[in-house]
Amino acid sequence: MTEELISVVVPIYKVEKFLPICIESIIRQSHRNLELILVDDGSPDSCPSICEKYKQVDSRIKVIHKKNGGLSDARNAGLKIAEGKWITFIDSDDYVGIDFLKELYRVAVVNETDISVCDYSTVLNNHGLEKRGTLELELSNIECLESMYHPKIHGMEFVAWGKLYKTTLFEKKNIEYPVGKIHEDIFTTYKLIYAASKIAYSNYIGYFYRIRKDSIMTSDFNLKRLDVLDARAGACDFFLGKGEINAFELALNAYLRDFIILYSELSECKADFNLNKEKKRLMQRYNAAFKKYIKMSNMDIKHRMFYKMFAVVPSKLYRKILR
């Protein structure tokens, strides 16, 4: 099988402890025809010099040094100079198995798909175990969305990483990551999946997602977490505009569920902001969203009443029912 060029974009900020491990895992890939785009997002530590060091010893490496603009801005910067027919994103504190690109590329080509997805493992150290796949699936875009909104297959999630995309998906649909937002994957991945003709999945474990205590997603509650609601509302409007009612129902359910999850997190956090004020704002937003979308939904009476009851008597206890 002829190796086509794969662009690997790594956004970098304050990860000097983990960056060499990430880069080493990429330049050692069994799929040799790659370009590694290291995007230094104004990192104040030794990351810029680490990038330059590796650039000097591997001609496949490109380095961008830019003013800090956040994860989305860094990914977009890498996208703009990517030359590969295929592209993947790897977070700079994570790392990949030696056959990560080879397997994602093989699965995509064999199944003639626009996107391939692999499984992953969460790690606390540098000893993730690469595992050969035993299952491969070929999915339509709507089938893939269903799997992501109701995750029954490990690895089929809205994260940007762990996937290989045809670069033209971004170019033809003018898709970029939203600058200034967290949950940037949830803003973007559904658009890429919908734009794809087919998606292939393998349960090969080749991506190792590092759990860090200082990550915004594992730290104390931050009001930026509410960005996910903008992402979910965008998905509802997107699928309504496309006339994809089944996908809209999935997006709406995820939207309303996230309100309940965020209300629970707000109720339990030790806040340095006016907690009651923020909970009131959240419920005002929930009521507006419920009224706007429920009239366009075919949601069954059981779920409709559940979400209506939350609007009338909000409580963190509703989250337990979601499980």
- The CATH number that applies at residue 91 is 3.90.550.10
pLDDT of residue 155: 85
Domain that holds residue 189: 6-210
Helix crossing, 245-268 with 227-241: angle to 10°? 170
Please identify, among 167, 186, 210, the residue that sits at the C-terminal boundary of a domain.
210
pTM of the entire predicted model = 0.93
Does 215 fall in a domain? no
Give the bridge partners for 107, in sequence order: none
The per-residue pLDDT for 323 is 61
Residue 218's pLDDT is: 47
Residue type, 88: T
Per the domain annotation, does 217 fall within a domain? no
Tell me the CA end-to-end span of the chain in Å, nearest whole number.
45
Pick the last residue of a domain from 152, 179, 210.
210
10-residue mean pLDDT profile of the chain (323 residues): values are 93 97 98 98 98 98 98 98 98 97 97 97 82 88 93 87 98 95 96 97 95 62 91 98 96 96 88 82 96 95 94 88 74
Residue 115 is predicted with a pLDDT of 98
Q: Could you tell me if 235 and 262 lie in one domain?
A: yes
Cβ-contact 62, 38 below 8 angstroms: yes
If you search the block for the tokens 């810029």, which residue do you land on? 48
